[in-house]
Structure 1
Amino acid sequence: MLVDEYQDCNVPQHAIVYYMAAAFPTCVLGDPMQAIFDFQEPLADWDSMVCKHFPIAGELSTPWRWKNVNEEAFGQWLLDARKQLLAGKAIDLKTAHASVSWIKTGGKDDHERRLEACRVKPPNRDGSVLIIGDSKNPQAQRQFASQTPGATTVESVDLKDLVSFARTFDPRSKDALGKVISFAENVMTNLGGTTLLKRVETIKAEKNRKAASALEASAIHFSENPTYAGVRELLGAMGEQAGVRSHRPGILRGCIRALQMAEAQGGPSFEEAAVTVREQSRALGRPLPRRAVGSTLLLKGLEADVCVILNATELNRQNLYVAMTRGSRRLVVCSNDNVLKPCERK
């Protein structure tokens, strides 16, 4: 029996595995420095329970991911940093490997400094970047994604914003157009939703001097013929505007698929369609964008050429270690001080 990710095993689960091991040859794999899920049930203590019941048979000591891209020295520095963190010690970024960059925060221009970090260029052609933001503030993650060219957010598997919109949206309601615009502004940048809504009101009141644009005409058509097909067409018209891009394509594409299902004759409700899209997304997975923004929970297990940590000061040692090891070629750390003293797990 092989049990992976054992650092997330709670006490009852460990008991099950331990007693099953009497009947089956058993090997457990895990790293206590990657236990970041904070489940309610207490975890099996790594030293007094896991290693006592399953003595250490081997440990990985070669940083293969870094070695494979000729960055073994950087990988070795990360292994040394892991030892420091495991022992509860601090890490001084001023003595870090050359592949590590520190951006000082704690001043009035913090946001601009973090945006500068988000825009870092990978050292290799077609390189990828993972940007790790505040896990407690998804809205801030989306803001950085919207303000960073080419960046998109990594969505949680529950696609909460999509399902919530589908559950509450009625195309025949008086404020349906406003809700579509509000949803669109949550997943697209540079849309100008307030201006669009005012223009629609002006045109419908026949007070306009300029003729309606294609987007405005689409919005008016939906307001006068409220259907799911009209919502889909309006979202498509929004995405075609100059300067507009989606920083949350997972939500936008999922919404368009759900609308297509809901508009079909005899099809499911919009909410049912959104739930179907969510479950399909869980089963099929999603491609990782070239420049992705998320949290340690969302990005754990993913790899990139460069990793940017936007709030290193706020991370405990497990989350800090997971964040630091996402990039194989370069690490950019934003923190108030060059000496990282990880906060205790809350």
Structure 2
Amino acid sequence: MSDELAIKLNDCTTKGYVIAPAGYGKTHLIALAVRASSGRQLILTHTFAGVNSIKTKMAALGVAASKYQVDTIASWALRLCLAYPKTSGWKVENPTSKQWNKLYECCSGLLGKKFIRQAVAATYVGVYVDEYQDCSELQHALVCALAEFLPSRILGDPMQAIFDFDEGKPVDWDISVYPSFGCLGQLDIPWRWEKSGNPKLGAWLKEARKKIERGQKIDLLGERPPSVVRVHTDPEYLSSKQYSSLCNLLNHDESVIALHGGDQQSKNKTHLLARSMSGRFSSIEEVEGKNLHSFVKKFVAAKTVQAGFLLAVEFAKKCFTGVADALTAGTKRGEVANLRKGTRYPLVLKAANDYLNEPTSSHLKAFFLALKSNPETSAYRRDLLYRFLNVLKMHVDGEGATLAEAANTYQREMRHTGRPISHKKLIGTTLLVKGLEYDHAVILDADALNAKDLYVAMTRGSKSLTIIGTCRHLPAK
């Protein structure tokens, strides 16, 4: 099916779509189609993690680099507009979140110019857009502008259309896609679970998807494979069941993702649960790193060394458990403290004193590293911690005249390099992990998820799925 569909995509001369459920080989299909191309294809996606994934698949299938360019929609649009600033009306090199909408509008307008179309058509013979369910209406308009003069194939999964971004309203497939793009096909084999040796889990998820699409509910007491574990609980015991279920997944080196929904309250729950697990599970931060940038802004504005250090201590408490117990009374007040025979953690005290005596990023980094290596403090927000350590390193290395500049530079680079966290036991939200794959998935409060969040959560684990909740039938909402 994939080979035939790949040829169909390559032969498409107008615009079409492919429905690609989670784990069904969408990236593989794109690579096969591009390999069949006689010219260079433009492949657009949403994240740099997605860019890297596509490039890796291309290399694995031996697709010549001359046959494609992979980029994010945002980066490609920005580069095109900056190349023609007078025609596009765009001159901002580093747009903020509120400026991206305007950029997409400028790019769509630019693509309406005949000489721009000629330049783009001379570079590419066609377009592929991955993860189309993540497109905003403005990004869709940009793709439609490309589709007016280049064969354009879009691939995505409306069932995974969950959103939390500032780039306009999400594209409505019923209104904007189905009437104007032709159906090229639908992937139908759950390869993620076939390849992991769990075809029964893949088949169960395939049936679950059909029920969710039809507006029906999944009966958790119905037939299910052993790899789908239902943990039934009363509401008052939910947190203890979450804790014990995660503890049961600590006895191996395989990856585990534990998931809440995507709302702000759920984001806070991920950090609280990671803290209660004393860092054995680590919580994931949102891409924008709002907590980090909020701290850096307050820190650089501190009027005294003492005030800045106390802010750093409070920030450390967001990264580690046990910070208060690791500091002396004087250190907690932001004072240089004497090392005594009874001082429990002299390395932490020395690092704090070094910073208070000479407030440099190098000394601040040493203080956080001392907490990291301290036996009584455990990192539970490693993602947040490692981002901050990278910002400090960049400032020490001169990549930013100020700490705030280093933080902004790091944020831009992280979009290319990906998250710095490599811990295998993670707690996150559906929004932060859609498109990613783990060995085992745990839905922490299944009753709280709507149909699409539930489907995203259910399809993250290739080897097992644990569903914790009070209801027999899902989705409960």
Letter in 1 for 2:460: R
Q: Secondary structure at the match of 2:178?
A: helix
Please list, as runs of the form range in 1=range in 2, the aligned pairs for 1:221-236 lying within 5 A after superposition: 221-236=354-369
Cα distance in 2, alignment partners of residues 227 and 20 from structure 1? 50
After TM superposition, give the deviation of residue 144 of structure 1 in Å.
Answer: 1.7
* Mean Cα deviation higher: 313-322 or 230-239: 230-239
CA offset at residue 218 of structure 1? 2.7
What is the deviation of 1:104?
2.5
Tell me, yes or no, if the aligned pair for 1:259 and 1:270 is still in contact at 8 Å. Answer: yes
Q: Give matches, 1:60-75, under 5 Å.
A: 60-75=187-202
Cα deviation digits, residues 182-215 of structure 1 (max 9, x gap): 1111111233x26625253699687977347232
Alignment of 1:130 onto 2:257: yes
Indicate how the Cα distance of structure 1 residues 27 and 218 shifts in structure 2: closer, same or farther if over 3 A, else same: closer
Q: CA deviation at 1:341?
A: 2.9
- Kindly indicate whether residue 436 of structure 2 is the aligned counterpart of residue 307 of structure 1: no
Identify the structure with the greater helix proportion: 2
- Report what 1:144 is aligned to: 273
Alpha-carbon spacing, 1:8–1:158, altered in 2? closer, same or farther (3 Å): closer
Once the 2 structures are TM-superposed, how far is the Cα of residue 20 of structure 1 from its aligned partner? 4.7
Q: Which moved more, 1:71-80 or 1:52-61?
A: 52-61
Task: State the superposition RMSD in angstroms.
Answer: 2.9
- The alpha carbon displacement at 1:49 in A equals 4.2
Q: What is the DSSP-based 3-state SS (H/G/I as helix, E as strand, rest coil) of the residue aligned with 1:83?
A: helix
Cα distance in structure 1, aligned partners of 2:172 and 2:313: 50
What is the CA deviation profile of residues 63-122 of structure 1, one whole-angstrom value per residue up to 9, with x for unaligned ones? 111011221111011011111111111111111332111222443222111112223428
For the 8 Å contact 1:18–1:53, the answer to whether it is kept is: no
Structure 1 length-normalised TM: 0.87
Measured in 2, the distance between the counterparts of 1:206 and 1:11 equals 61
Percent of aligned positions that are identical: 31
- For the Cα contact (< 8 Å) 2:326–2:376, is it kept in 1? no
Q: Which residue of 2 aligns with 1:200?
A: 331
Does structure 2 retain, via aligned residues, the 8 Å contact 1:308–1:332? yes
Task: List per-residue Cα deviations over 1:272-304 (Å, max 9, x = no partner).
Answer: 111112222111113553112111110011101
Does the CA-based 8 Å contact 1:93-1:100 persist in structure 2?
Answer: no
Question: Compared with structure 1, are the counterparts of its residues 37 and 225 closer, same or farther at alpha carbon in structure 2 (3 Å cutoff)?
Answer: same
- TM-superposed CA distance for 1:2, in Å, is 2.0
Specify the SS of the correspondent of 1:103.
Answer: strand
- Tell whether the 8 Å contact from 2:232 to 2:470 is kept in structure 1 after alignment: yes
In structure 2, the CA distance between the partners of 1:13 and 1:282, relative to structure 1 (3 Å rule), is closer
Residue 81, structure 1, aligned to residue 208, structure 2: yes
Q: What is the number of residues matched between the two proteins?
A: 341
Deviates more, 1:292-301 or 1:146-155: 146-155
**2:332 & 2:130 partners in 1: Cα distance?**
58
Q: 1:182 is matched with which residue?
A: 314
What amino acid is the match of 2:411?
Answer: R
C-alpha change, 1:60 and 1:266, in structure 2 (3 Å) is closer
Cα distance in 2 between the residues matched to 1:232 and 1:152: 20
Gaps of at least 5 residues in structure 2 are: 1-126
- Relative contact order: is structure 1 or structure 2 higher (C-alpha 8 Å, sep ≥ 6)? 1
Judged with a 3 Å threshold, the aligned counterparts in structure 2 of structure 1 residues 274 and 9 are, in CA distance, closer, same or farther, namely: closer
TM-score, normalisation: structure 2: 0.64
Alignment-derived partner of residue 78 in structure 2? none
